[in-house]
Chains A and B, each alone.
Chain A
Amino acid sequence: MKKHKNNNGRPHYLNPYFGGVLLGLLVVITFYITGRGLGASGAVKSTVVTAVETFAPQHAENSPYYSKYIPEDKSPMNNWLVFESFGILIGGLLSGVIYGRIKKFRIEHGKHTTSSKRLIFAVLGGALFGFGSQFGRGCTSGAALVGSASFSFGGVIVMLGIFGTGYAVAWFFRKLWI
């Protein structure tokens, strides 16, 4: 178990290029086995659909959006992305254990902001991201990364859009981070 605390207190991470190569190979292997790529936002969508279906089944059936994701004979959670996302949690946990990054719950925020401000913006950012991911038919993993890698026109558009916009608005939110 590596605990590189002697790295000036900075956490030890994989060389980013090494990580990138492995990630690229993972994408190729995923296509090789399943014919599709990986993703993340889809699992959250499935959860929302399931929740709405559980608490308000009529509304879910009538909704032009939710109804598309309610299969006839099984739960919306019975879905490739949901299982894959569950795996992401486990993989993250595994890495955290190996590199000694599992600690008690903490809130990460920039020097010039407070924890509560960070949490508020986390929720707002998440809401915007969730909302946008439906239009984009994916998030940075499914649409931008996998889409671009498979030469999809839409994938490249989403990738450029997310990062381009990020740079465009970064200045307005700088106090959160620097």
Chain B
Amino acid sequence: MNKNYLFLTILMLLLAVGTFFIPKKQLVKHERSPEKLLMDITQPSRYVTTDQVAKMIIEQDPTLELIDVRPADEYNKFTLPDAVNVPLKDILTPESQDNLGIEDMNAVFFSNDDIMADQAWVISRRMGYKNIYVMKGGLNCWIETIINPVEPPETAPETAFETYHFRKAAGIYFTGGNTVQTGDTGTKKAKVKVRRKKKEKAASGGC
């Protein structure tokens, strides 16, 4: 009897000690491995132009989700219509994460230029989120192209004029008819409809 119990005691101790050596899961299932991430970074397909964004806003594309990654005070001063504010420094919090990975939505990061937006994109891509984009040139480019488009010279091709007319019309749409010098368009700070991820529910139980 005693020898058996001794054996069982040691076995149980080994099992308990074994739990220490269970490795922490390195890669959460959906994370993007570093190698793949580097490949993604070199692709230009993550960029969307300010023209594309303007078009989506004007057409009220329901899949568009604009994410302003600048600090909150800048967001409050001026931002794109219906943009959500996820400051870059807070991007890893669960609340911020709720804005990513929503089914069928295309998230477009933007900042003043595109440096912060790019960083947000890389971080999010590493976590495995798909359907994420960066607005090339950021808000500075937005001002230059949409709000204050430059009239192309007479020798420019037809398409340049088309783009210019589109931009002028878009500019009027966004500013209500006044061309603006500074970034302070006083644009309607539209009520932001925030769609968040459905929270997965844990089991309930009791005594």
Contacts and interface: CB of A to CB of B under 8 A. Distances in A.
Contacts of B43: none
Contact of A35 (B8, B205, B206): B205
A36 B207 contact: no
- By DSSP majority rule, is chain B's interface helix, strand, loop, or mixed? loop
Interface of A: 17, 34-37, 39-42, 45, 81, 133, 136-139, 141-143
B205 A37 contact: yes
A36 B8 contact: no
A141 B203 CA distance: 18
Interface in B71-101: none
B207 A133 contact: yes
Interface of B: 5, 8, 202-207
Nearest to B204: A36
B12 to A, nearest CB: 9
Contact of A138 (B5, B8, B206): B206
A35 B207 contact: no
Contacts of B205: 35-37, 39
A88 to B, nearest CB: 14
A81 to B, nearest CB: 7
B202 A42 contact: no
Contact of A137 (B202, B203, B206): B206
A81 B203 contact: no
Contact of B202 (A35, A45, A138): A35
Contacts of B8: 17
- Most chain A CB within 10 A, of B8, B202, B205, B207, is at B207
B202 A39 contact: no
A39 B204 contact: no
A81 B204 contact: no
Contacts of A143: 207
A43 B5 CA distance: 37
B207 A139 contact: yes
B204 A137 contact: no
- Most chain A CB within 10 A, of B5, B8, B204, B205, is at B205
Nearest to A146: B205
Given A37-B205, A42-B207, 12 more contacts: A34-B203, A35-B202, A36-B203, A36-B206, A39-B205, A39-B207, A81-B207, A136-B207, A137-B207, A138-B206, A142-B207, A143-B207
A37 B205 CA distance: 7
A18 to B, nearest CB: 10
A112 B96 CA distance: 68
17 contacts: A34-B203, A35-B202, A35-B205, A36-B203, A36-B204, A36-B206, A39-B205, A39-B206, A39-B207, A42-B206, A81-B207, A137-B206, A137-B207, A138-B207, A141-B207, A142-B206, A142-B207
